Amino acid sequence: MSIDTIYLDYAAATPIDERVVAVMQPYFATEFYNPSSPYRQAVEVRRDYEAAKQQIAMTIGAKGDELIMTAGATESINLAFNHVKGHVVTSEIEHPAVIEVAKLRDHTLVGANEQGRISLESIEAALRPDTELVSIGLANSELGTIQPLRKIAEVIERERQKRAEQGNMTPLLFHSDASQGFGQIDVNTARLGVDMLTLNAAKIYGPKQVGLLWLKPSVHLTPTVVGGGQERGLRSGTENVAGTIGFAMAAKLAAKSRTSENERLSSLRGKLEALLVEQFPQAVVTGSKKHRLPGHLHISFPGIDAERIIFMLENQNILVATGSACSANKGTASHVLRALALGEEIINGSLRLTLGRNTSESHVRTAAEEITKAVRAEYQRMEQAV
């Protein structure tokens, strides 16, 4: 990212923090040993690896050996679902990884309200006596809307009690993909009431291709990858030492600055939103304003083709997204926006602006100006075309 780039797509990817790269570096060429080797130097590498897991675990109120390290959120999600033979409940606005893995099974996709929030009633209604898993993401990656996980956990707990009374022995687990939100939201597994949690280093200025699945000790899974028996047999393959150590540093840095950084991002996001809405009163801010990630702004300029805006902004070195990176790439309209039953005009005119650690006030002002210019030019072009 060159110095003059204004990057407003932190929800798609975050640059690795230089302090994270620094702690990983020794494990590339110096402490590169296979943690399964018998000599002291390798045993020390294993010890560093276990310590890093413990450090990550502590940030979510868990223990190191409850974490299964994976190559990212997608693998972690697949692992969380792998043992499930019965019915699963998830939502229409989840990440494609959750939806695709649900579709391999008997599944119900609940909707979301117009603010992108999933209602407790919809979860309750979707539960069946044979439901084995509910999976709802902590925060929606397109809208930034935060879901009421704690309350959903209570619904699930009531269902469990009902089953116990009825003698229904079908286990019911609650999984959450917290890739989006972890780092900004203080995630504690006990407080959230989840049984399994997916985290992703790549979204918190950590290394890419590093994720994990946290498991409550009572949960037993089926591995997606078998072999040497690493990660308690649930994920074979030589351990990702450098990646895990980088993840631990990223989690630590995020936790340390969380409060102040959230305030800063929230204030900058507020400015950006105000500047844009001031210029375009017809603009629609999508998602919950109350339950929203601090750096997230999902805004639509009805009637505009957002793809064109992206290319105009790109020429000014301002990088923004429409919908999620996944769907943007395929040129299809966002499945999330479609699930919210927004009008076509609003869907097609949507920009996702996500702020992060390097976003400054001047970035926000310049971005607001350039977005204003681009959107104005588009509205004018369309008027002339009529």
Nearer to a second copy, 155 or 328 (CB): 328
Helices 40-59/241-279 angle, 10° precision:
30
Contact 200, 176 (CB under 8 A): no
Q: Among 108-116, 261-269, 311-319, 360-368, which window interacts with a second copy (CB under 8 A)?
A: 311-319
Determine the Cα–Cα distance for residues 208 and 210; give it in Å rounded to an integer: 5
Rank residues 146 and 210 by Cβ distance to a second copy and give the closer one. 210
CB of 115 to a second copy, least distance (A): 25
Say which residues have a Cβ less than 8 Å from residue 37's Cβ, sequence separation at least 6: none
Contacting a second copy within 74-113 (CB under 8 A): 74-75, 77-78, 95-97, 100-101, 104
Based on the shown chain and the rule CB under 8 A, indicate whether residue 177 belongs to the binding site for a second copy: no
Residue 225 makes contact with a second copy by CB under 8 A: yes
Each residue 246-285 as x (binds a second copy by CB under 8 A) or -, in order, gives ----------------------------------------
User: Which region among 51-59, 67-75, 164-172, 364-372 touches a second copy (by CB under 8 A)?
Assistant: 67-75
CB 287 → a second copy: shortest distance, Å? 20
From candidates 263, 278, 307, 361, binder to a second copy by CB under 8 A: 307
Shorter beta-carbon distance to a second copy: residue 153 or 318:
318
Q: Which residues contact 383 (CB under 8 A, 6 or more apart)?
A: none
If the CB atoms of residues 25 and 188 are measured against a second copy, the closer one turns out to be 25
Q: Of 44, 154, 157, 314, which lies in the binding site for a second copy, with binding defined by CB under 8 A?
A: 314
Contact 236, 223 (CB under 8 A): yes
Q: Which of 225, 326, 333, 339 is catalytic?
A: 326
CA–CA separation, 68 vs 131, rounded Å? 24
> Footprint of a second copy on residues 325-354 (CB under 8 A)?
325-326, 328-330
8-16, 125-133, 289-297, 340-348 -> range binding a second copy (CB under 8 A): 8-16
Active site residue 326: yes
Identity of the residue, 15 or 303, whose beta carbon is nearer to a second copy in the bound complex = 15
Residues 184-223 touching a second copy, rule: CB under 8 A, are 202, 207-210
- Residue 38 sits in the site that holds a second copy (CB under 8 A): yes
CA–CA dist 340, 343 (Å, integer): 9
What whole-number distance in Å separates Cα of residue 201 and Cα of residue 243? Answer: 9
Identity of the residue, 170 or 317, whose beta carbon is nearer to a second copy in the bound complex: 317
**Contact between 72 and a second copy per CB under 8 A:** yes
- Chain centroid to CA 51: 25
Instruction: Give me the active site residues, please.
Output: 326
